[in-house]
Amino acid sequence: MDYSYLNDTLALLAAAVAVVALFQRLHLPPILGYLVVGVVLGPHGLALIADTEHTRGFAEFGVVFLLFTIGLEFSLPLLIRMKGAVFGLGGAQVLLTTLVTTLVALYFGLELESALVLGGIVSMSSTALVIKQLTDQVELHSRHGRNAVGVLLFQDIMVIPFLILVSSFAAPTDEPVLMSLATALGGGILALLLILALGHWAVQPLFTVVARFQSMELFTLAVLLVTLGAAWITHHMGLSLALGAFFAGMMLGETEFRHQVEAEIRPFRDILLGLFFVTIGMLLDVGLLPQIWLQVVLLLVCLIAFKLLLIIGLCRLAGWDKAVALRTGLVLAHGGEFGFAILAMAMNSSMLDAELGQVVLAALLLSMALAPILIRYNGRLGALLLPGEVAQSRALMRERIEQAAEGLRNHVIICGYGRVGQNVAHFLDEEGIEYLALDLDPVLVQNAIKAQQPVSYGDAANIELLRAAGLEQAAAVVISLCDVDTALKILHKLRLVSKDIPVLVRTDDDSELERLQAAGATEVIPETMEASLMLSSHLLLMLNVPVSRVFQRIRKARQNRYALLRRLFPGEEATLNTTAVVKQLRAIELPAQLVAPIRLGDLGLPDKGILVTAVVQNHERIQYPDENLELRGGETLVLYGTPAALDQAELSMLHEALDIV
């Protein structure tokens, strides 16, 4: 039996682990790592992996599952809410990019089918890169961030027509182009109706039955069956596999199982999508680059410059200032993963000339390599290219905030006007306490202003804007943003100006509590801890514990900065995280062969940073025992400390116990 495929698989996995880990350490997208693996190990590189049909077949399922998750996240209300950015900017960008690229390609002698496909490839940008990078930079809800997301949403929608287009052109037929395209679009609509009908009459009842078994294994199998079944339907209708998966995602996205389905499908999507990008890298003929490098560079420059200028122009027509238009263009001026998917289908079906395909592929790869730099430094590049516009925009923003803060004294500045910020504002309103909130979500700010709420658009991490909001006259600052890095940035800048103003910080949990306190937070309120306190207080009251005693316990927990609530036994997930330094509880049993008693204080646990929270003797639990307590073999100590300190203490106690024996 031939096991050569096993060698390919091992080489691929080893290279992927090493390269992707390196890219993660360099804070670069894993997508680029997979592309590099494909280029280096593929048939045109070191030739360690064969470019087989089996490899490409598995890789195609990566696009299938990616389209499935996009279908899951497809939201008609979101599209309506962002209709200006989606259908205005996004529609114009895709239409004009495709049209201009098609005309240029026709001028250089390409067939209409190939020219249209090339237009679709160029019109795409990378949703994965942009969303992740903007989220990390806390720019997702900024003006340029929302514009970029709107354009990307429309691009994701337009992937479906382009996939139908490529599928119809790839099938051999004597029909005219328009007739072939109309037939393919009709088939796509028929497939959508068929899958939606199956979803209503068969799939939703199936998942209802499967959910009753409460089996994750059965649920995952059902998800895979529906996804691949829908892909099979569209494939047998002469369309792409990914089209059926997208329709299946849309169908399941309207059910109550949406979030569970997404969680179950994610591992398959990420692994197979990584394999897809590896196969894309394998398509690049490195040996051909010396001959085509000039065309590649020219196409790369034209791609970035054209998309940049087009998006700037469209943003200006939509009424955005030059700074926002430029930053939106910089974020989107590159190729994307769906461009690769369309290109791979076109190259496999010989719709594009081999040399032209290599030029386009190399240009897309280079544009994706440049994309993280353009996105990460879009603000600095904007300030460099338009210093006057950026300064004017910041001055106008500062002036508006100063006007909103005019006359305010002893007010509260709320950094972030999301769910938590609005709830805080509600309580302040009830008490007649004035406040001013800052947020980067323009739609949220616009709605709040319409409702006569004291909210202004601005980045709370900008100390000048905090000063404009009346920081020197404020009574307190509330940081309600869930992003810890942003909260730390605000704290560091704020404490350089004001050492004494109370600052309350909201976090999801207690994992960053010490860092936030060290950065200058007066109080840190972890939501999980407060939820535990509220749940416990309601339970105690239901069990007829006196109200005064319940309030006393809650107050004590808060005064001790949730110290008691943070003493937890680790589960499997925490145990696997060997780098964790968060303190935890651990139960340690003394060796049974120990006969002579040991005094608790003689173990020196406090010197090792260990707190003894309890001792179990004769099946009785002694809370916070005295250091003079005598310990014997078989008794259990409940210790609290970091994993490393607990390991050291356990080993030390074992040695001391054996020495006494």
Asked if residue 547 belongs to a domain, the reply is: no
For 448-493, write each residue's pLDDT tens digit: 887 788 999 888 888 889 999 999 899 999 998 877 888 888 899 8
126 plus 256 within the same structural domain? yes
- How confident is residue 363, by pLDDT bands cut at 50, 70 and 90? very high
358 plus 397 within the same structural domain? no
308 plus 277 within the same structural domain? yes
Residue 532 has pLDDT above 80, yes or no: no
For 127-160, write each residue's pLDDT tens digit: 888 887 887 777 777 788 889 988 998 998 888 8
Distance CA 378, CA 157 (A): 26
For 80-132, write each residue's pLDDT tens digit: 777 788 889 999 999 999 999 999 999 998 988 889 999 999 999 988 888 87
285 plus 368 within the same structural domain? yes
For residue 55, give both structure tokens: 């490899």
Residue 178 has pLDDT above 70, yes or no: no
**Average confidence score pLDDT of the chain:** 81
DSSP 457-512: E--TT-HHHHHHTTGGG-SEEEE--S-HHHHHHHHHHHHHH-SSS-EEEEESSSTT
* Residues whose CB falls within 8 Å of the CB of residue 630, separated by 6 or more in sequence, listed in order: 597, 598, 599, 600
Predicted pLDDT at 577: 43
* Residues whose CB falls within 8 Å of the CB of residue 56, separated by 6 or more in sequence, listed in order: 279, 348
401 plus 266 within the same structural domain? no
Which of 232-241, 307-316, 548-557, 567-576 has the highest average model confidence (pLDDT)?
307-316
Residue 299 has pLDDT above 80, yes or no: yes
Asked if residue 544 belongs to a domain, the reply is: no
Residue 564 has pLDDT above 80, yes or no: no
336 plus 422 within the same structural domain? no
For 241-263, write each residue's pLDDT tens digit: 877 888 888 888 777 777 778 77
Which amino acid, 230?
A
- How confident is residue 562, by pLDDT bands cut at 50, 70 and 90? low
CATH of the domain at 59: 1.20.1530.20
More confident residue, 170 or 550: 550
231 plus 140 within the same structural domain? yes
Distance CA 31, CA 279 (A): 12
373 plus 437 within the same structural domain? no
Asked if residue 304 belongs to a domain, the reply is: yes
Predicted pLDDT at 167: 74
For the chain, how many structural domains are there in total? 3
In order of 13, 46, 277, the CA distances from 16 in angstroms are 5, 15, 11
397 plus 480 within the same structural domain? yes
Each residue of 602-626: b (16+ CB within 10 Å) or e?
ebebeebebebbbbebeeeeeeebe
Average pLDDT over residues 494-513: 84
CA 191 from centroid of its chain's CA atoms: 31
Domain stop point among 356, 380, 404: 380
CATH of the domain at 472: 3.40.50.720
3-state secondary structure labels for all residues of 4-47: HHHHHHHHHHHHHHHHHHHHHHCCCCHHHHHHHHHHHHCCCCCC
CATH of the domain at 641: 3.30.70.1450
409 plus 369 within the same structural domain? no
Domain span at 647: 576-660
Asked if residue 565 belongs to a domain, the reply is: no
Asked if residue 259 belongs to a domain, the reply is: yes
Nearest to 191 by CA among 158, 166, 164: 164
Asked if residue 189 belongs to a domain, the reply is: yes
Q: Which of 32-36, 384-388, 435-439, 564-568 has the lowest mean pLDDT?
A: 564-568
Tokens 């000039």 belong to: 294
- Classified as helix, coil or strand, 638 is strand
Q: What is the pTM of this model?
A: 0.70
Domain stop point among 488, 503, 521: 521
16 touches 36 (CB < 8 A): no
Predicted pLDDT at 601: 82
346 plus 459 within the same structural domain? no
Residue 594 has pLDDT above 90, yes or no: no
Q: What percent of the chain has pLDDT over 70?
A: 88
Domain stop point among 358, 380, 402: 380
* Residues whose CB falls within 8 Å of the CB of residue 477, separated by 6 or more in sequence, listed in order: 412, 413, 414, 415, 466, 471, 494, 501, 502, 503, 504
Tokens 């903007």 belong to: 134
Asked if residue 548 belongs to a domain, the reply is: no
- How confident is residue 353, by pLDDT bands cut at 50, 70 and 90? confident
Predicted pLDDT at 334: 92
Asked if residue 403 belongs to a domain, the reply is: yes
302 plus 171 within the same structural domain? yes
More confident residue, 332 or 128: 332
